[in-house]
Structure 1
Amino acid sequence: MSLKWTDTLEIAIAMCDAHPNIDPLTVRFTDLREWVMALPEFNDDPAHCGEKVLEAIQMAWIDEV
């Protein structure tokens, strides 16, 4: 499965697995962007990411925690 920036819920679940001891409220968007792009399943253009996308991922991550 290949993750894209629009797969916010799937990315949030992957963030929970990859960073189980991290409070998503403490993560800077610059770090979140790098962590998402480092996911093995992630395959999308970094230029397609903006603040709204990162905010959606962060909110989904908070909901998952």
Structure 2
Amino acid sequence: MDDTQIAKRLEILRVEHRDLDSAIAALLDTGSTDQLQIARLKKRKLRLRDEIALLEDQMIPDIIA
């Protein structure tokens, strides 16, 4: 993947991460008792965060000092 593709993928992942955050907050605000669904959303959010961090690391050039 080149930097342009990585940047596009990062933007998509960040939007999805924000959407999941909103969905989790909405479920918690409504007093949802579906803990399994909330746990799945949180797990997905963590996977997205890990993928975002990995892609961000790829965009930073290796500097050999």
Q: TM-score, normalised by structure 2?
A: 0.31
- Which one has the largest radius of gyration? 2
Which structure carries more helix by proportion? Answer: 2
